[in-house]
């Protein structure tokens, strides 16, 4: 049986989620924006190792319940282990949320970094809406990749040398047309939520700006570097061919290979940098 991809990416997922939000911002959303002041029953679509539960449960009223569903057996196993001694009411289900039947009994349906991987994100959004009771909320934390790519600063490196935004945007747009998967979906969700009949639709942006400065704090910078570092693109010919298949011109694919190789070699733990993920947090009410 083919391994579920995200089962092999647990450590990467744990590192990357640290880049998005400050704890006080999540508390602000829960208490001041969503105004959750009584116990809620939450279903997390594509919960991974339960990181949203780890963030939300300490802030929710006592008596709240968090249910996570994911297709990754190792992810679900890891989530159960993380929560086994916690005081919170949690349940983790192994399954494909695209096919499993889900009752309309939840106060909140939520997902984080999931819709961008869906070939038919509207199908999943409808499923999220259908499982929420009247006056409940649907909440999606999703990226706008081109905005995220524009939000790096590397000291001593011109951004245009490291991240060619124009050709990346072209690539992302071609991916949507050919596969349906949309790394820029975060900024489109407010319109999708409106058109699916959700009410009081709003969208916020994640607040955290990561400051990597080894000259000031080497230990903090080292941990942040682990979360931010860029992987080597690997075999040159294979990488370039894969980009051409995704719609890049040969010269664009060559440039993209060279920039990714350059970043993987030159972005080191001794370099100062800043990064803001600018995740889009869209929410609406079921009526």
pLDDT per residue over 29-69, tens digit each? 999 999 999 999 999 999 999 999 999 999 999 999 999 99
> Which pLDDT value is given to residue 2?
61
**Fold observed for domain 5-144+183-208+277-285:** Rossmann fold (3.40.50)
Task: Round to whole Å and give the CA distance between 15 and 18.
Answer: 6
Check residues 98 and 209 and name the one with the higher pLDDT: 209
> Which pLDDT value is given to residue 237?
98
pLDDT per residue over 264-277, tens digit each? 999 999 999 999 99
Task: Round to whole Å and give the CA distance between 69 and 92.
Answer: 6
Task: Round to whole Å and give the CA distance between 27 and 270.
Answer: 33
CB 184 within 8 A of CB 144: yes
pLDDT per residue over 143-169, tens digit each? 999 999 999 999 999 999 999 999 999
CB 198 within 8 A of CB 285: yes
CB 20 within 8 A of CB 206: yes
> Which pLDDT value is given to residue 97?
85
> Which pLDDT value is given to residue 158?
92
pLDDT per residue over 221-240, tens digit each? 999 999 998 999 999 999 99
Residue 273 contacts by C-beta under 8 Å, 6 or more apart in sequence? 152, 153, 154, 155, 212, 228, 267
pLDDT band at 202 (very low <50, low <70, confident <90, very high): very high
pTM: 0.95
pLDDT per residue over 79-113, tens digit each? 999 999 999 999 999 999 888 889 889 999 999 99
CB 269 within 8 A of CB 214: yes
Q: Is the pLDDT of residue 1 over 60?
A: no
pLDDT per residue over 2-33, tens digit each? 678 999 999 999 999 999 999 999 999 999 99
pLDDT per residue over 111-138, tens digit each? 999 999 999 999 999 999 999 999 999 9
For the record, the structure tokens of 227 come out as 């979360």
Task: With both helix axes pointing from N to C terminus, report the angle between 165-179 and 250-266 in degrees, rounded to the nearest 10.
Answer: 120
CB 259 within 8 A of CB 161: yes
> Which pLDDT value is given to residue 104?
87
């Amino acid at each position: 049986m083919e391994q579920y991809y995200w089962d092999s990416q647990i450590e990467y997922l744990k590192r990357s989620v640290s880049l998005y939000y400050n704890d006080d911002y999540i508390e602000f959303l829960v208490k001041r924006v969503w105004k959750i002041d009584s116990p809620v029953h939450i279903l997390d679509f594509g919960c991974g190792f339960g990181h949203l539960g780890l963030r939300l449960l300490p802030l929710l009223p006592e008596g709240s319940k968090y249910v996570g569903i994911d297709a990754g057996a190792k992810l679900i196993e890891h989530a159960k282990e993380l929560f086994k001694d916690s005081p919170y009411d949690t349940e983790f289900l192994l399954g494909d949320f695209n096919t499993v039947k889900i009752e309309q009994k939840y106060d909140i349906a939520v997902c984080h970094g999931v819709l961008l991987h869906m070939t038919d994100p509207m199908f999943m959004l409808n499923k999220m809406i259908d499982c929420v009771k009247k006056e409940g909320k649907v909440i999606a934390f999703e990226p706008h990749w081109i905005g995220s790519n524009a939000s790096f600063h590397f000291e001593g490196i011109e951004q245009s040398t490291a991240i060619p935004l124009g050709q990346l945007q072209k690539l992302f747009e071609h991916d949507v047309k050919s596969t349906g998967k949309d790394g820029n979906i975060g900024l489109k969700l407010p319109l999708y939520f409106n058109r699916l009949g959700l009410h009081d639709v709003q969208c916020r942006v994640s607040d955290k700006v990561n400051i990597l400065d080894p000259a000031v704090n080497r230990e903090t910078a080292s941990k942040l570097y682990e979360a931010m570092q860029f992987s080597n693109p690997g075999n040159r010919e294979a990488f370039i061919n894969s980009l051409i298949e995704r719609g890049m011109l040969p010269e664009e694919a060559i440039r993209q290979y060279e920039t990714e190789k350059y970043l993987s070699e030159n972005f080191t733990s001794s370099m100062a940098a800043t990064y803001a993920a600018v995740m889009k947090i869209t929410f609406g009410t079921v009526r």
